[in-house]
Chains A and B, each alone.
Chain A
Amino acid sequence: MNKENIRLRVNKRDYQLEIAPNRLLLDVLRQDLGLTGSKRGCDDSSCGACTVLVDGEPQMACLMLAVSYQDCEITTIEGIACEGQLEPLQRAFCDEGGAQCGYCTPGMILTARHLLAHNPRPTDQEINEALSGNLCRCTGYVQIIASVRKAIELLEKQESGVAAAGQGG
């Protein structure tokens, strides 16, 4: 099988790669780019452990042929912390016990990030629905929902802090 020269844009960095066309994005991320935050869980498109953001939208890297996503902005869990500071969702998952074994956590956080970007004040029902494609076998989901709630609080504080600083200046 002939390899193809492709470019991928992951976490705002451009990569040039020579890969076989049957390589899954999940494998390219983990094996070629060393980004092992995205997990292989079920490998049959059920569990969501491999979730990455494609142009901001959560999708499953275990279903994606890397050669077909060259025009997209891909974000993995490694790409959401800002200047060494954990993102509010990451902090909330730590504080609220949203991660136990941690295997589903990158997918949960990325999916929740998309939810909060489009719906900053979701109801519990909306959080449940948004996360219904990401399976967790440890937490029973209670702490995960609590973590998302906590992240909303942190984000609101951050916003009011920014607004206050703006007024002060």
Chain B
Amino acid sequence: MSLPSFEVVRPRTLEGALEELERHGPDAQMIAGGTDLVPSLKQGLFSPRVLVDLKGVRELDFIRFDREAGLELGALTTITRLAQSPVVAEYFPVLQAAAKTVASPLLRNMGTLGGNLCLDTRCLYYNQSAFWRESLGYCLKKEGTVCHVAPGSSVCWAVFSGDTAPALMTLAATVRLASPRGEREIPLRELYVNDGWVRLTKRHDEILTAVRIPLSSAGWKGTYKKLRIRNSIDYPLAGVAVAMRWASDGVCQDVRIALTAVNPAPRLVEAAARLKGKRYDPSLVDEVAHEAIRTAKPLRTSASTMEYRRHMVRVFVRRALNEVWANGPHC
């Protein structure tokens, strides 16, 4: 499929990129790895007049570990580099586990962390050709008035399908957003809005420049479980990230569980708090896994059924907790 017409501007500095975004306003869209945007452009989901290509803004490509500030990851860090980083592997295993499952090796070589966090939400009725969508009278997310997943709904149920976001949320990560007005840093979870159309709190003229993981999250045990049809390439149908810190006697000091691909936003599971101060107990793990289903509201946005996806959230929470907790203190 051919692409719509647009110009491409290639700034070399963050300042230059911000200027381009400001100058072209809503006519402009950002592109970095292009793995999310280009297929959508082919399907006519966006029609920007200008693409601001961020690949030349090398100041956004870095991984820095500081014993006071924690880990800082530039938005242009490719998923491959993230997955191969020795620091990430040693101190933030949940993030490495998630990064290794993103799409395929080829796509990880291209896709960036910033792009993975700002991924467009996905739906069976949205990620289709213009011809396909037109034949159904379009949908609430794009050009239409009806949500085919939940007719009558006033919000869009397209799901957020990133893998790194839930992992970073279990590590209490923050993101930095730069704009012509300056810079602000917000918790990653506040970047998202649980409406598939609104998606992000990031404003149009803001660029997500970096992610920061506090030092207090270093060394947490963790893992990521992902449901998909094929073991490569596919977006998740459900994803569960777990990170936990336990004392030498095995008592859980702190824990976070986050879900992806089962809501319009990645979300933390509140029931995880029940594990704090407790020793490993399979029935307690089962209880939290069961409660986690309440945080998951998958609808018919993919080829798989919502029942299966919800069931797998429970299975994955149990497996992930068993993996990081049951074996850990005794090893």
Contacts and interface: CB of A to CB of B under 8 A. Distances in A.
A binds B: yes
Interface of A: 1-2, 4, 20-24, 43-46, 48, 51, 54, 57-60, 62-65, 67-68, 71, 111, 129-130, 132-135
A45 B40 CA distance: 11
Contacts of A59: 106, 109-110
Contacts, number: 86
30 contacts: A1-B6, A1-B7, A21-B7, A21-B51, A22-B4, A22-B5, A24-B3, A43-B1, A43-B42, A45-B107, A48-B104, A59-B109, A59-B110, A60-B107, A63-B35, A63-B38, A63-B39, A63-B110, A64-B34, A65-B34, A65-B53, A129-B105, A130-B105, A132-B232, A132-B233, A133-B106, A133-B107, A133-B232, A133-B233, A135-B233
Contacts of A22: 2-6
A22 B46 CA distance: 13
B1 A58 contact: no
Given A68-B34, A111-B105, A129-B105, 18 more contacts: A2-B7, A22-B2, A22-B4, A24-B3, A43-B42, A45-B107, A51-B106, A54-B109, A58-B109, A60-B106, A60-B110, A63-B33, A63-B38, A65-B34, A68-B10, A68-B53, A132-B233, A133-B103
Interface of B: 1-8, 10, 31, 33-35, 38-39, 42, 51, 53, 55-56, 80, 103-107, 109-110, 231-233
A21 B105 CA distance: 27
Nearest to A58: B106
Contacts of A44: 39, 42
Contacts of B33: 63
